[in-house]
Structure 1
Amino acid sequence: MTVATSPALGVRDLNVRIPTPSGELHAVRGVNFDLRPGEVLGLVGESGSGKSVTLRALLNLHRPPIKVSGTIAYQGLDLLSLPESRLRTVRGGQISMIFQEPMTALNPVLTVGEQIRENLREHRRLTGKAAVERAAELLDLVGIPSARARLTDYPHQFSGGMRQRAMIAIALASEPQILLADEPTTALDVTIQDQILRLILRLREQLGMSVILVTHDLGVVAQTCDRVAVMYGGKLVETAEVSELFQQPRHAYTLGLLRSLPGGGARRLPLLPIPGAPPNLLHLPEGCPFAPRCTYQTPACVNGEPPLIPITTSRHSACVHHAELPAPQQVTG
Structure 2
Amino acid sequence: MSEPILKLNNLCTVFHTARGRFTAVDGVNLELFPGEVLGLVGESGSGKSVTLRSILRLVRPPGRVSGEVRWRGRNLLSLSEPQMRQVRGGEISMIFQEPMTALNPVLPVGEQIAETLREHTELSGNALRQRAIELLELVGIPSPKERLRDYPHQFSGGMRQRVMIAIALASNPKLLLADEPTTALDVTIQDQILKLLLRLKDTLGMSVILVTHDLGVVAQTCERVAVMYAGRIVEVAPAAELFAQPRHAYTLGLLNSVPGAGSTRRPLIPIPGAPPDLTALPPGCSFAPRCAFATDECTAQRPPLMDISGPESPAVRLTACIHHDALSAAGEVTR
Alpha-carbon separation, structure 1, partners of 2:316 and 2:225: 11
Q: Is the 8 A contact 2:285 2:301 kept in 1?
A: yes
What is the letter of the counterpart of residue 164 of structure 1? Q
TM-superposed deviation, 1:327? 3.6
Alpha-carbon separation, structure 2, partners of 1:35 and 1:222: 18
**Matching of residue 246 in structure 1 with residue 246 in structure 2:** no
Aligned to 1:255: 252
Q: Is the 8 A contact 1:26 1:234 kept in 2?
A: yes
Q: Is the 8 A contact 1:93 1:176 kept in 2?
A: yes
**Matching of residue 124 in structure 1 with residue 126 in structure 2:** no
Match of 1:296 among 284, 293, 314: 293
Aligned to 2:5: 8
Alpha-carbon separation, structure 2, partners of 1:286 and 1:128: 60
Q: Is the 8 A contact 1:73 1:79 kept in 2?
A: yes
Q: Is the 8 A contact 1:18 1:66 kept in 2?
A: yes
TM-superposed deviation, 1:329? 3.3
**Matching of residue 329 in structure 1 with residue 330 in structure 2:** no
Q: How many matched pairs?
A: 328
Aligned to 1:79: 76
Alpha-carbon separation, structure 2, partners of 1:234 and 1:74: 21
Aligned to 2:265: 268
**Matching of residue 191 in structure 1 with residue 193 in structure 2:** no
Aligned to 1:155: 152
TM-superposed deviation, 1:314? 1.2
The DSSP-based 3-state class of the residue aligned with 1:80 is helix
Match of 1:215 among 190, 203, 212: 212
Alpha-carbon separation, structure 1, partners of 2:331 and 2:176: 33
Alignment of 1:82-121 (within 5 A): 82-121=79-118
**Matching of residue 49 in structure 1 with residue 53 in structure 2:** no
Q: Render the CA deviation track for 1:71-129: whole Å, top value 9, x for unaligned.
A: 01111110000001111111110100000011111111110000001111111121111
Runs of 4+ in structure 1 deviating by more than 6 angstroms, as ranges, are none
The DSSP-based 3-state class of the residue aligned with 2:79 is coil
TM-superposed deviation, 1:5? 2.2
Alpha-carbon separation, structure 2, partners of 1:184 and 1:216: 11
TM-superposed deviation, 1:27? 0.7
TM-superposed deviation, 1:266? 2.6
Alpha-carbon separation, structure 1, partners of 2:97 and 2:332: 30
TM-superposed deviation, 1:268? 2.0
Alpha-carbon separation, structure 2, partners of 1:177 and 1:171: 11
In structure 1, the gaps of 5 or more residues are: none
Aligned to 1:318: 320
TM-superposed deviation, 1:228? 0.3
Once the two structures are overlaid, the 10-residue window that deviates more, 159-168 or 266-275, is: 266-275
Aligned to 2:312: none
Alpha-carbon separation, structure 2, partners of 1:84 and 1:74: 16
Once the two structures are overlaid, the 10-residue window that deviates more, 309-318 or 319-328, is: 319-328
Q: Is the 8 A contact 2:256 2:334 kept in 1?
A: no
TM-superposed deviation, 1:316? 0.2
The DSSP-based 3-state class of the residue aligned with 2:192 is helix
What is the letter of the counterpart of residue 13 of structure 2? V
**Matching of residue 278 in structure 1 with residue 278 in structure 2:** no
Alpha-carbon separation, structure 1, partners of 2:42 and 2:334: 22
Q: Is the 8 A contact 1:310 1:316 kept in 2?
A: yes
TM-superposed deviation, 1:330? 4.6
Alpha-carbon separation, structure 2, partners of 1:173 and 1:263: 39
Once the two structures are overlaid, the 10-residue window that deviates more, 262-271 or 280-289, is: 262-271
Aligned to 1:138: 135
The 1:20/1:328 distance shift into structure 2, 3 A limit, reads: farther
- Percent same amino acid at aligned positions? 66
Match of 1:181 among 156, 172, 178: 178
**Matching of residue 236 in structure 1 with residue 238 in structure 2:** no
Q: Is the 8 A contact 1:43 1:228 kept in 2?
A: yes
TM-superposed deviation, 1:267? 2.2
Alpha-carbon separation, structure 2, partners of 1:198 and 1:37: 19
Q: Is the 8 A contact 2:245 2:333 kept in 1?
A: no
Alpha-carbon separation, structure 2, partners of 1:144 and 1:6: 36
What is the letter of the counterpart of residue 40 of structure 2? L
What is the letter of the counterpart of residue 215 of structure 1? T
Alpha-carbon separation, structure 1, partners of 2:6 and 2:146: 38
Aligned to 2:63: 66
Once the two structures are overlaid, the 10-residue window that deviates more, 286-295 or 260-269, is: 260-269
Alpha-carbon separation, structure 1, partners of 2:274 and 2:238: 27
The normalised TM-score by structure 1 is: 0.97
TM-superposed deviation, 1:328? 4.0
What is the letter of the counterpart of residue 74 of structure 1? W
